[in-house]
């Protein structure tokens, strides 16, 4: 009897309190080690899941919070399949698998220690200058269990170019900066057991889902809506 295919490319890595970009970049680097020649050879021959993921969330650190919304267009090639299960896997090296329209990226922060000159706490606020589309390298897996009619997903995305931010500092005034952004999408955070969601048709995976990372990670809930269709 064939066994269900299930893989987790996170290698047990746990979430840290570092920035979201570091988290996603680490996932990409770890995943590149685990890709087999077999997976590369089969990539796309068994079909490709393509579609969209709308994602909104927050990241809280000791000096502030980031709030974002993005619409991701992604392609996930099926690398393994049998009668009971299938796996789509992506690990971008040469060509990005995702294009993402960033429509919101807000950064609000305040120093934790007062300025020695006047005893005031400096603060700042940044927001995206205009909706910006960026290519993103993707790394992760999509698992399907045909018998249980469930699927799970864990994908890290790292932008290949920066987004423009317009900012205001309470002491020094307006300024501009470019920021490299990252996203995590799916049903599961790195190192945690896979969370399964039901599907009615394996050729079209749809879900509205709130991913709740561990409290100690500093990451707030991530709200997602996805629609992925299998093409051959």
Q: Tens of pLDDT along 177-224? A: 999 999 999 998 767 788 999 999 999 999 999 998 777 766 789 999
Task: Say whether pLDDT at 14 is over 80.
Answer: no
pLDDT for 10 equals 35
- The whole-number pLDDT of residue 217 equals 65
Q: Are strands 48-61 and 173-179 parallel, antiparallel or unpaired?
A: unpaired
| E strand or H helix at 34 | helix 20-34
Residue 228 pLDDT grade (very low, low, confident, very high; cuts 50, 70, 90): very high
Mean per-residue pLDDT, 90-105: 92
Residue 49 and residue 41: Cα distance in Å, rounded? 17
pLDDT higher than 50, residue 117 = yes
pLDDT at residue 96 tops 50: yes
For residues 169 and 177, what is the distance between their CA atoms, to the nearest angstrom?
A: 12
Compute the distance between CA of residue 202 and CA of residue 212 in angstroms, rounded to an integer: 25
């Amino acid at each position: 009897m064939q066994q269900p295919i299930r893989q987790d490319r996170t290698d047990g890595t746990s979430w840290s309190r570092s920035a979201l970009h570091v988290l996603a970049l680490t996932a990409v680097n770890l995943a590149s080690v685990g890709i087999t020649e077999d997976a590369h050879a089969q990539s796309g021959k068994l079909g490709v899941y393509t579609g969209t993921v709308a994602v909104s969330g927050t990241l809280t650190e000791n000096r502030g919070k980031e709030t974002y919304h993005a619409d991701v267009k992604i392609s996930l090639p099926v690398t393994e399949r049998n009668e009971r299960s299938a796996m789509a896997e992506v690990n971008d090296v040469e060509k990005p698998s995702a294009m993402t329209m960033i429509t919101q990226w807000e950064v609000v922060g305040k120093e934790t220690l007062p300025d020695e000159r006047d005893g005031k706490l400096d603060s700042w606020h940044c927001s995206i200058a205009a909706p910006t589309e960026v290519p993103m390298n993707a790394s992760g897996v999509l698992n399907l269990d045909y018998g249980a009619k469930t699927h799970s997903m864990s994908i890290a995305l790292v932008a290949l170019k920066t987004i423009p931010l317009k900012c205001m500092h309470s002491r020094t005034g307006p300024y501009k900066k470019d920021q490299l952004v990252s996203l995590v999408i799916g049903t599961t955070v790195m190192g945690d057991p896979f969370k399964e969601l039901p599907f009615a048709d394996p050729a079209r995976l749809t879900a509205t889902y709130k991913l709740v990372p561990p409290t100690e990670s500093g990451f707030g809930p991530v709200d997602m809506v996805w629609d992925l269709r299998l093409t051959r």
